Amino acid sequence: MRRLWVYSSVLRLGLSAALMYRANFLFTAGLTVLVGVAVQLFLWSAVYGWGRQQTFASIPFAQMALYIACATLSLGLTRSGRVERMVAEEIRTGELVRYLLKPVGHVPYMLSMALAERAVTFPVVLALALIAMWIALPELSFQLAIGQRLVWAVPFLLLGMTLNFLMGLGISYAAFWLDEVWTLHVVKDISLWFLSGQLVPLLLLPSGLRQLSEWLPFQYIAYVPAGILSGLIPMEAVFVLLGRALLWCVLLSSLVAMLWHVGLRRFGAYGG
Amino acid sequence: MLFALRLWFLFCGQALSREMEYRLHLWLSFLIDVVWYAVQVGLFEVIYLHTSTVAGWTRAEMAVFLGTLFVVDALNMALFSTNFWRIPQYVLTGELDFFLLKPVSPFFLVFLRYPNVASFLNLAVALTVLGYGLSQVPLPSVWSAAVYPVFIVNGLLCMLSFQALIGAIAIRIFAAEGIQQTFHILYQFGMKPDSIYTPVVRRILLYVFPMGLVASVPAQVVLGKASWELISTGLFIPPLLLVGSRWVFLRALRYYTGASA
């Protein structure tokens, strides 16, 4: 109970820190999402021949547009942030000792900070997804139960956020062995544009790659939440996906915890 | 001019020595752009699994477009990009003082002082993609092949001009990272062929914010698809833009008060 109180305090602190630069953060994040969605929509409009072609790989344009908007929003929300990257710098400079002296676990402490960082954008992303659904809905030939889909998308967004956080933290813990891990964070973020399904729905991949993507954790970051919101993923599949996403959370948490324990043995901080 | 070239080679030598000290960093930096290239190629490869043309571009023509984009991007990363990101730091730490005191153009020093060695390796990958694309399309005419490098250089000048304009803003305001990111966000418009946009947006990308000149116009020139309007715009706007942005940048330097004293 006491631990819960500690981490809720960390969450509140993190929220204050995130809100300190809200104008700059929302401007950059907002522009990234808006330009990303706009360029993607122009591309997919051209792919559909500006209305001449009704479907592409059996997907109507409105559904594809809704998917692209939701996937970009989803990746924008779940992408790794300042918190995870900061850990590598703290390991390098030795500032990590600050956490070692406190009665808190490093992973839950960082998770609380990361949740606070994302909490600022979470309602904005959900509102924008709702607007995108509302615009696309009259164009869709099938019934899209907005309420039900939004309710199901929320846990997947949280799971996607957690998975991306764990990947980012795992990379930062590599700083116990490597001098420079910033580049690995960038490689991960760029790879996720494709692997998470932000640029193209994963169901359009060749069958071998598609089957492989179903067993990897990246799809929960953008493809699954956006697929649920746009109707590309049938509601019957959500329970299986939920189970697999939770399994990945457990696996990655264990891996990150192992990296922390092994890495800590190599850690040395010097100075007064 | 010859002096500047000798100086730049000296900068390259220093950059290479630095990178050789941190070889893992060099290879990881190389990896970043290779992954970026793979993502861009992957997107279009998946689309072309289900269609034969996108906005009038076949798969082979798109490879030429992507190759052109990668070449211009690799040259920009190798020459200017690292320097562009350092501008706020120069202003905050007062390092810019030392550039202003040297008997070389501050514009040259600010944008060319730190070449990025890893991106020269990326240039080889970019040229491979371009070579593959060109091998898949009919041979370009002698005229197209002759002027294509000029258009590539002009695309690079466009990139430098935008960075110089944003650099000028960075000199005036202190926390400029957000503004610098704006350039990379808007650069996304140049990462796709201009024919995917509506006529109005296409005009904007040619005349107002000429990101279309970075890769789309050079690729159309070598493919023999460019109209005279595109050719003349692609030839004349980038040098004018560079002259204008250099003037703005040098004017902004007048407001720099130094921070090291």
Q: Which amino acid is at B40?
A: Q
Model's pTM, two decimal places? 0.89
Give residue A182's Cα distance to chain centre. 18
C-alpha B218/C-alpha B134 separation (Å) is 13
Find all residues with CB under 8 Å of B248, minimum gap 6, and list them: B164, B165, B168
What pLDDT does residue A272 have? 47
With beta carbons less than 8 A apart as the criterion, state whether A55 and A28 touch: no
Cβ separation B25–A180 shorter than 8 A: yes
Tell me whether residue A88 is in a domain: yes
Domain housing A246? 2-266
- The pLDDT assigned to B119 comes to 87
Distance between B182 CA and the closest CA of chain A, angstroms: 7
Mean pLDDT of B150-177: 87
d(CA A49, CA B54): 8
Q: How close does chain B come to A104, measured CA to CA in Å?
A: 33
Residue A272 lies in a domain: no
Q: Compute the distance between CA of residue A245 and CA of residue A159 in angstroms, rounded to an integer.
A: 7
For the ranges A107-111, A138-142, A152-156, B45-49, which has the lowest average pLDDT? Answer: A138-142
Q: Residues of chain A with pLDDT > 70: what percent? A: 86
CB-CB: which of A39, A179, A190 is closest to B189?
A39
Coil vs helix vs strand at B57: strand
How many degrees, rounded to 5, is the angle at CA B164 between CA B246 and CA B257? 85
Beta bridge partners of B58: B53
The residues facing A55 across adjacent strands are A60
- Asked if residue A143 is part of any domain, the answer here is yes
Q: Span B108-133, mean pLDDT?
A: 92
- Mean of the per-residue pLDDT values for chain B? 90
Q: Do A205 and B46 touch (CB under 8 A)?
A: yes
Compute and round to an integer the Cα radius of gyration of chain A.
20
Which segments of B94-227 does DSSP mark as H helices, in order? 96-101, 106-112, 117-136, 142-172, 177-186, 199-203, 216-222
Does A247 score more than 70 pLDDT? yes
Does residue B54 sit in helix, strand or coil?
strand
Render pLDDT for B191-209 as a digit per residue (tens, 0 to 9): 999 999 999 999 999 998 8
ipTM of the prediction? 0.89
Q: Which of A17-21, A115-119, B213-217 has the lowest mean pLDDT?
A: A17-21
CB contact burial B211-233 (16+ within 10 A = b; e otherwise): bbbbbbbbbbbbbebbeeebbeb
- CA separation for the pair A201, A217 (Å, rounded): 15
Q: How many Å apart are CA B174 and CA B92, to the nearest integer?
A: 7
Phi, psi of A56 (to 5 degrees): -130, 120
Which residues are B54's β-sheet partners? Answer: B57
pLDDT of residue A269 exceeding 90, the answer is: no
Q: Which residues of B touch A42 (CB under 8 A)?
A: 192, 196-198, 201
Cβ-nearest to A186 among B32, B42, B46: B32
pLDDT score of A82 more than 80:
no
* Cα–chain center distance at B236: 17
How many domains would you assign to chain A?
1
